[in-house]
């Protein structure tokens, strides 16, 4: 599969989002999946330029920590700054101010290559738009990040198949993604994230537009990831997710880019 990458712009774009541009050079060792993770943010802010205006998407007062074994739900209506925070925590974007540390190391000064390494070594994503490669099979989509992880897994195919089974798509592993329904594609995105067995799992609106049964499956699998030892951070405005008992360790509600309330944890 690796040799095909150079010719496929869609594959390159997806890999760039997950990992940054690929470089064959020696890479820092990936921490073991079981190693505890600690993320700490302090006075984080993010402003955007929109023409001559400055849009403040996020201004967080004080510190906040995210740890292994927890499910943190970031709640709030649309435009409240949830995705902005997830993009920073996922090392996809940089804040305009404040501090952001993973395992005590400052992430603010990292180059885009450094951020890509943080993603590659630690983070699995369930993107709101799926971020799948349409003209590839379910199995190849799930395998893609495993093939390009810094520690190429000898058992990548078994892991990918197990994740596809877990999202109840075992019978469709060889189907092309563009032949699947919206809900099925979403589950492929989840299988791709689960197969990584990453220390940090970031999910943007993981149950939006899903039926109740599929939503329950998604929540169960995300909770299981936290029980495995992952730090799970979920942004959502879905009432089913927000009301689900035994799902969130902590719910942080945003309004206008600020924390309105914190429940649990």
Ligand X SMILES: Nc1ncnc2c1ncn2[C@@H]1O[C@H](COP(=O)(O)OP(=O)(O)O)[C@@H](O)[C@H]1O
The residues that touch Mg ion, with contacts defined as CB under 5 A, are 82-83
Residue 199 sits in the site that holds ligand X (CB under 6 A): no
> From Mg ion, ligand X, none, which one binds at residue 79 (CB under 5 to 8 Å depending on kind)?
ligand X
Neighbours of 70 (CB within 10 A): 18
Binds ligand X by CB under 6 A, chosen from 14, 19, 37, 76:
76
Annotate 147-197 with DSSP letters as a single string: HHSSS--TTHHHHHHHHHHHTT-GGGTTSBGGGS-HHHHHHHHHHHHHHHT
Least Å distance, CB 204 to Mg ion, is 6
Q: Which is nearer to ligand X, 134 or 263 (CB)?
A: 263
Contact between 257 and 59 (Cβ < 8 Å): yes
DSSP secondary structure code for residue 30 in this structure? P
CB nearer to ligand X: give 14 or 87. 87
CB closer to ligand X out of 81 and 206: 81
Whose CA is closest to 206, among 104, 95, 125, 116? 125
Sole binder of ligand X in the list 83, 214, 236, 251 (CB under 6 A) = 83
Shortest Cβ 82–Mg ion spacing (Å): 5
The site map against ligand X for 246-265 (x = CB under 6 A) is --------------------
Binding mask 29-58 for ligand X (x = CB under 6 A): -------------------x-x----x-x-
Distance CA(102)–CA(114), nearest Å, equals 13
Return the beta strands (E) in the chain as ranges.
38-50, 53-59, 63-67, 71-75, 97-102, 105-106, 123-126, 200-204, 231-236, 250-255, 258-264
What is the smallest separation between the CB atom of 22 and ligand X, expressed in angstroms? 26
Structure tokens, 139: 């199995």
Q: Are 184 and 172 within 8 A, CB to CB?
A: yes
- Tell whether residue 68 is a contact of ligand X (CB under 6 A): no
4: its two tokens: 């095909």
Using CB under 6 A as the binding rule, whether residue 79 contacts ligand X is answered as yes
Burial class (CB in 10 A: 0-12, 13-18, 19+), 125: buried
Beta carbon nearer to ligand X, 20 or 76: 76
Stretch binding ligand X (CB under 6 A), from 4-12, 18-26, 77-85, 239-247: 77-85
Nearest approach in angstroms of CB 258 to ligand X is 11
Look at the block and give the residue holding tokens 């309330």.
261
Contact set with ligand X (CB under 6 A): 48, 50, 55, 57, 76, 78-84
């Amino acid at each position: 599969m690796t040799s095909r990458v150079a010719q496929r712009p869609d594959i390159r774009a997806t890999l760039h989002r997950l990992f940054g541009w690929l470089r064959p050079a020696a890479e820092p060792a990936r921490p073991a999946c079981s190693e505890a993770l600690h993320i700490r943010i302090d006075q984080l802010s993010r402003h955007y330029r929109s023409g001559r205006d400055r849009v403040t998407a996020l201004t967080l007062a004080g510190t906040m920590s995210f740890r292994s074994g927890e499910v943190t739900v970031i709640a709030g209506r649309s435009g409240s700054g949830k995705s902005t925070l997830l993009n920073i925590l996922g090392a996809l974007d940089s804040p305009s101010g404040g501090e952001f540390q993973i395992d005590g190391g400052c992430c603010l000064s990292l180059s885009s290559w450094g951020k890509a390494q943080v993603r590659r070594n630690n983070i699995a994503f369930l993107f709101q738009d799926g971020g799948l490669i349409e003209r590839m099979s379910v199995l190849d989509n799930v395998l893609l990040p495993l093939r390009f992880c810094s520690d190429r897994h000898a058992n990548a195919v078994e892991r990918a198949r197990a994740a596809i089974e877990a999202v109840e798509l075992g019978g469709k592993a060889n189907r092309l993604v563009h032949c699947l329904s919206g809900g099925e594609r979403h589950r492929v995105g989840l299988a791709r994230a689960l197969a990584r067995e990453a220390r940090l799992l970031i999910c943007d609106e993981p149950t939006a537009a899903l039926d109740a049964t599929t939503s329950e499956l998604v929540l169960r699998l995300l909770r299981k990831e936290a029980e495995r030892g992952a730090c799970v951070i979920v942004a959502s405005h879905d009432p089913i997710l927000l009301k689900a008992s035994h799902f969130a360790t902590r719910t942080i509600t945003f309004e206008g880019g600020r924390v309105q309330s914190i429940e649990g944890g």
